[in-house]
Amino acid sequence: MNWMQSRTPEERKAIAAKSVATRQRNIQEREAQKLADIERRDSLKCEIKELENILNGLEKIKLVNKTALTLTNKTLLSETDIVSAANIWELATGVYFLIDSGRVVYVGQSVNVYARIASHNDKVFDSFAFIPCDKNVLDSLESLYIHILRPALNGNAHDAKRAPMSFSKLLGAPA
């Protein structure tokens, strides 16, 4: 007589029920593991695709940089490098200087220096500089520079008639 036959019918029924429950639980666990494996496989496929895209992008950058190096003797900056070095665009208020051949040829002022400099297509200059300042000191600062530098394109350079304020007014003396 084997072990199972020595049990009562109720014990055999309970053992069989436990065996069926264990089998069903094992089947469910295997199915859950299959689903988890499929999810993991799909996730890895996505990661591989992303890495392939990054690699393709890097290969393009390498090719472009090689071409840029050949053409210009310089490599290109990455988008991250460009963005991290960027300046905030805002209207620049200040006094500006148009420069030609190492000499200041014109002094001006504006609440939008870049746009004002771009509008000077009637003047010859090869570079510019500007000093940011508050609106309320534009006239004074521009006048000081015109009086000191006497730039050729600011009207009569000898008496600086084109300065917004006379030199005596800047010094606080009566005109």
The CA distances from residue 115 to 67, 94, 153, in Å, are 35, 12, 19
**Residue 155 exposed, middle or buried by CB count within 10 Å (0-12, 13-18, 19+):** middle
Element (H, E) at 104: strand 103-110
CA distance 50 to 2: 61
* Digitized pLDDT (tens) for each residue of the chain, 175 residues in all: 677 778 888 988 988 899 999 999 999 999 999 999 999 999 999 999 999 999 998 888 888 888 888 888 887 777 788 888 776 767 789 999 999 999 999 999 999 999 999 999 999 999 999 999 999 999 999 999 998 899 999 876 455 457 787 767 777 755 5
Q: How many CA atoms lie within 13 A of 1 on its CB side?
A: 4
Q: Is the entire prediction scored with pTM above 0.95? A: no
